[in-house]
Amino acid sequence: MPAMKSHARVVVVGGGVVGCSVLYHLTKMGWKDVVLCERKELTAGSSWHAAGGFHALNSDPNISRLQAYTIKLYREIEKLSGQNIGLHFTGGLNIAATRERWDFLRADWARHRVLGLSTELLGPAQIRKLCPIIDTSDVIGAIYDPMEGHLDPSGATHAFAKAARSAGAEIYRHTRVIEILPTGHGSWHIVTDAGTLEAEHVVNAAGLWAREVGQMVGVQLPIVAMEHHYLLTEDLPELQQLPGEIPLVLDLDGEIYLRQERKGILLGVYEKEATPWALNGTPWEYGENELLPPSLDRLTDALDKGFRRFPTLSAAGIRRVVNGPFTFTPDGNPLVGPVPGVRNYWAACGVMAGFAQAGGVGLALSHWMTQGEPDSDIYAMDVARFGAYASRNYTIAKGREFYARRFQIAYPNEFWPAGRPAKTPATYPTLKAANGVFGVSFGTEVPLYFATDGELSEETPSLRRSNAFASVAEECRVARNGVGILDISSFGKYLIGGPRAEQALERLLAGRIPGLGKIRLTPMLSHSGRLMGDLTTMRLESDRFLLGGSGYLQTWHMRWFSHHLAAEGVTVKNVSEEYGGVAIFGPQSRELLARLSQANVSNEAFPFLTVLQRDLGFAPALTARLSVTGELGYEIYTPTPYMHALLGSVIQAAEELDARHVGFYALNALRLEKSFGIWSREFSPDYTPRMAGLDRFIAYDRPNFIGREAAIRDRETAPKRRLVTLAVSSTDADAAGYEPIVLRGDLVGFVTSGGYAHSVRTSLAMAYVNAEVSDTEQELSVTILGEPCSCRILTEPSIDASGSRMKS
Ligand SMILES: Cc1cc2nc3c(=O)[nH]c(=O)nc-3n(C[C@H](O)[C@H](O)[C@H](O)COP(=O)(O)OP(=O)(O)OC[C@H]3O[C@@H](n4cnc5c(N)ncnc54)[C@H](O)[C@@H]3O)c2cc1C
């Protein structure tokens, strides 16, 4: 082992598969002065006892891409390192035994075309041919992915480590990081039991100990470890006769996974009663060939299902039972990126499927560290996607839930119950009493829709249109003809002030800064000119601004603001929870506002994109004239303690009007009718302003905003893809995202979001399509739940193309 350096550019804490991959990728991107500290031997956490399976399929398309990258990388690191990693590309089957699951798999299979994955749908006979030990009597079909397989977990970890070492990295084994202390000039003292070194950056890749390594810098990472079992059987005669290996099998309805291990079987189970491990801290002495005592009693139900699907297993001898812990986050995705509030401290932890994800995590993080941003939209695994609500108890509850539902269908309209309700808007009792049905966003309950009389006030999870349909239709009708009332307290709100606030915003935002009392849509760009935000900026005073954005991005936005707005004379405050809000929209919204404010709110006195600061009832209110629905509309903000009273005044003033509570489902339908994009769907760091049609909001002539040079290059280059809206012929389901769009058999684009547009009684989808087809009048096809549906590109928004309703 090399003698410990006194300085390094990066110290990676943890030599599991993730830490070693990060180390390798840092060297690959040109940073040589990098070291890794491992407490014991490499793999001494979860990595050594993993089942070693890998697969590219994931419900999040961007994570799927990174998983596919991980798998493709294995041959490369095997070659580079000379380390055999025991690669078996057996292919993999995801089995469906219910109609619903089959719809789900077919929808997934269609999306794979967009992701460049060549999966196939197979029927029972084809499944049996690949895997003769499976009972397919109730099986409808399966997705077959040729990229799946398994490997030797220890070999893979060492291969990353060797490849990193031969590129200049150093690895210190038996070196436990005990403390991480700021030096006072932006770097860190890494105190280990073998000495101290100074480093510019620290990466927390400490796996089972990531919580503890977070606490070393005062950070509580939302991670919980969970026990997990797999069994290894004796050799099976059926497998001995086969010339090759059977594929990996995920029996999604049975909630088991299985693969061949020599001539026997490795069978893993996700039991319903998940068992968290080491809740009060992972013992430092744990690990290195240590396992937990097996508890087969907990697995009886799951094993029964496994034995029914694979009857030969019920008679097989069990050679070994493995029970080991590994980590989960509240949504099951990793924690990657700069940890908010701690300079040069990076996360690469909470990785549940290390052998499918370590390569992608290493790539994304190293790109971020060396180039200043990740190379694609990795929000689904960004450490900044959670907020303070992701407390210890919340994380345990959600981690258990995720484990128990690991293979369950994730319906687009389903909000899982654990950890709810945690945060509620001040108006929750009123909205509940009005039959509000809630979902959750950033830990807060948000109204999805308001059930009409006699209708079930619970939404049925469904891949097709749900029982919320009629209520949402009525909400849309009212919003287009009367006045809709929506609690928007969950929106993100930031106050930026100080004598240098305008100057700082001119650098931060790519859009024009509004004049006093005015509002502008202000895109925000990354250094490479990709979208970083679609904020609304209001100027309340000459040196005081209110920025609005999607509420679930609060930590993400604040991390960016604190990097780029930190200057003398500028204050930045996240006031999302200090202010609540209610939006009113529809042709009667002006009348409603006039009743509330007893002021002249005519178009002349209170024009579109301006702000009115005037009390409404007893509530000090800030009313912004803008609307996501494309109707005449207003967003009214007030300090949270006044929210209940404000909503009460709004409801009272709405008497005799055609008024109704509206939820976020209707808002989504209404904005689709106007072809308005939203963040994470049409707008994300994967797209540039030109592609997204946001270039008209960019102040190209203003010098020095972040991403300007790249934005100018983007403006001068014809985009390969454009954002369009499609009218879709579908009967009972709408596009949900990432469905392929096909012209005469060729893939020409993909859906970003979809839904039923009640005002025009058609299914709509927004999509990125190849520029050359973006104004085609030809019929295209979009695959929804595996079925091709014809669609055509709309030349203008379905409702009020001129924008006159919104502006007059
Ligand atoms: C039974 C079981 C089966 C599994 N099967 C699969 C599978 O088939 N496919 C799959 O993809 N995944 C599987 N997993 C999950 C997989 O094991 C993990 O996702 C992966 O190992 C996580 O790797 P890691 O590097 O993040 O963490 P770890 O492997 O836990 O590594 C963290 C390392 O950091 C070191 N460390 C911690 N603190 C310090 C410190 N202060 N100083 C120095 N070093 C420190 C530890 O010693 C450890 O070596 C399975 C897990 C279990 C338990």
Closest CA to 21 of 186, 160, 142: 160
The predicted model gives 664-685 an average pLDDT of 97
Q: What distance in angstroms lies between residue 16's CA and the mean position of ligand 1's atoms?
A: 5
Q: What distance in angstroms lies between residue 209's CA and the mean position of ligand 1's atoms?
A: 9
3-state SS track over 528-585: CCCEEEEEEEEEEECCEEEEEECHHHHHHHHHHHHHHCCCCCCEEEECCCCEEEEEEE
454 pLDDT band, cuts 50/70/90, is low
Q: What is the pLDDT at residue 456?
A: 65
Q: What distance in angstroms lies between residue 355's CA and the mean position of ligand 1's atoms?
A: 10
Please give the number of the atom of ligand 1 that sits closest to the Cα of 354: 19
Is residue 541's pLDDT more than 80? yes
Integer Cα distance of 519 and 514 in angstroms:
6
The predicted model gives 516-530 an average pLDDT of 97
The predicted model gives 2-21 an average pLDDT of 96
Q: What is the pLDDT at residue 776?
A: 87
Q: How many CA atoms lie within 13 A of 712 on its CB side?
A: 10
Closest C-alpha residue for ligand 1 atom 34: 14
Mutate to test the pocket of ligand 1, among 35, 37, 47 (most ligand atoms within 8 A of CB): 47
58 pLDDT band, cuts 50/70/90, is confident
The predicted model gives 720-730 an average pLDDT of 96
Please give the number of the atom of ligand 1 that sits closest to the Cα of 323: 1
Q: What is the pLDDT at residue 61?
A: 87
Q: What distance in angstroms lies between residue 326's CA and the mean position of ligand 1's atoms?
A: 6
Q: What is the pLDDT at residue 775?
A: 87
Q: What distance in angstroms lies between residue 75's CA and the mean position of ligand 1's atoms?
A: 21
Closest C-alpha residue for ligand 1 atom 18: 354
Q: What is the pLDDT at residue 455?
A: 62
Is residue 388's pLDDT more than 90? yes
Q: What distance in angstroms lies between residue 53's CA and the mean position of ligand 1's atoms?
A: 14
Ligand 1 contacts (CB < 6 A) are 13-19, 37-40, 44-47, 49-54, 176-177, 205-209, 213, 228, 230, 287, 322, 324-326, 349, 351-356
Q: What distance in angstroms lies between residue 317's CA and the mean position of ligand 1's atoms?
A: 28
The predicted model gives 40-56 an average pLDDT of 94
Closest C-alpha residue for ligand 1 atom 37: 206
Is residue 280's pLDDT more than 90? yes
DSSP string of 419-455, one letter each residue: T-SSB--TTHHHHHHTTEEEEEETTEEEEEEEPPTTS
Mean of per-residue pLDDT scores for the chain: 95
Is residue 2's pLDDT more than 90? no
Please give the number of the atom of ligand 1 that sits closest to the Cα of 192: 42
The tens digit of pLDDT for each residue in 173-186 reads 999 999 999 999 99
The tens digit of pLDDT for each residue in 111-139 reads 999 999 999 999 999 999 999 999 999 99
Closest CA to 580 of 428, 394, 387, 384: 428
Residue 313 is given by DSSP the state G
The predicted model gives 522-548 an average pLDDT of 97
Q: What distance in angstroms lies between residue 347's CA and the mean position of ligand 1's atoms?
A: 14
- pTM over the 0.85 mark: yes
Closest C-alpha residue for ligand 1 atom 19: 354
Closest C-alpha residue for ligand 1 atom 50: 50
Which residues, including other chains, have CB under 8 Å from residue 200's CB and lie 6 or more apart?
A: 8, 9, 10, 186, 187, 188, 344
Q: What distance in angstroms lies between residue 785's CA and the mean position of ligand 1's atoms?
A: 36
Closest C-alpha residue for ligand 1 atom 51: 50
Q: What distance in angstroms lies between residue 352's CA and the mean position of ligand 1's atoms?
A: 8
Please give the number of the atom of ligand 1 that sits closest to the Cα of 326: 53
Mutate to test the pocket of ligand 1, among 37, 41, 46 (most ligand atoms within 8 A of CB): 46
Please give the number of the atom of ligand 1 that sits closest to the Cα of 353: 11
Contact 728, 782 (CB under 8 A): yes
The predicted model gives 289-298 an average pLDDT of 90
Q: What distance in angstroms lies between residue 161's CA and the mean position of ligand 1's atoms?
A: 15
The tens digit of pLDDT for each residue in 675-694 reads 999 999 999 999 999 999 99
Give the number of other Cβ atoms within 10 Å of residue 422's Cβ: 15
List strand residue ranges (DSSP E) for 63-220, in order: 92-96, 120-122, 141-145, 149-150, 170-172, 177-182, 188-192, 195-204
User: Quick one: what percent of the chain has pLDDT higher than 70?
Assistant: 100
Is residue 453's pLDDT more than 80? no
Closest C-alpha residue for ligand 1 atom 12: 353
The tens digit of pLDDT for each residue in 313-326 reads 999 999 999 999 99
The tens digit of pLDDT for each residue in 339-352 reads 999 999 999 999 99
Please give the number of the atom of ligand 1 that sits closest to the Cα of 176: 42
Is residue 289's pLDDT more than 90? no
Closest C-alpha residue for ligand 1 atom 20: 354
Closest C-alpha residue for ligand 1 atom 52: 50
Mutate to test the pocket of ligand 1, among 43, 209, 217, 261 (most ligand atoms within 8 A of CB): 209
Mutate to test the pocket of ligand 1, among 158, 224, 328, 355 (most ligand atoms within 8 A of CB): 355
Q: What distance in angstroms lies between residue 187's CA and the mean position of ligand 1's atoms?
A: 27
Q: What distance in angstroms lies between residue 47's CA and the mean position of ligand 1's atoms?
A: 4
Q: What is the pLDDT at residue 200?
A: 98
Q: What distance in angstroms lies between residue 636's CA and the mean position of ligand 1's atoms?
A: 48
User: Quick one: what percent of the chain has pLDDT higher than 90?
Assistant: 92
Q: What distance in angstroms lies between residue 441's CA and the mean position of ligand 1's atoms?
A: 30
Question: How many Å is the maximal CA-CA distance in the chain?
Answer: 86
Closest C-alpha residue for ligand 1 atom 21: 47
Q: What is the pLDDT at residue 374?
A: 95
Q: What distance in angstroms lies between residue 353's CA and the mean position of ligand 1's atoms?
A: 9
568 pLDDT band, cuts 50/70/90, is confident
Closest C-alpha residue for ligand 1 atom 22: 354
Angle at 386 between CA 382 and CA 390, to 5 degrees: 140
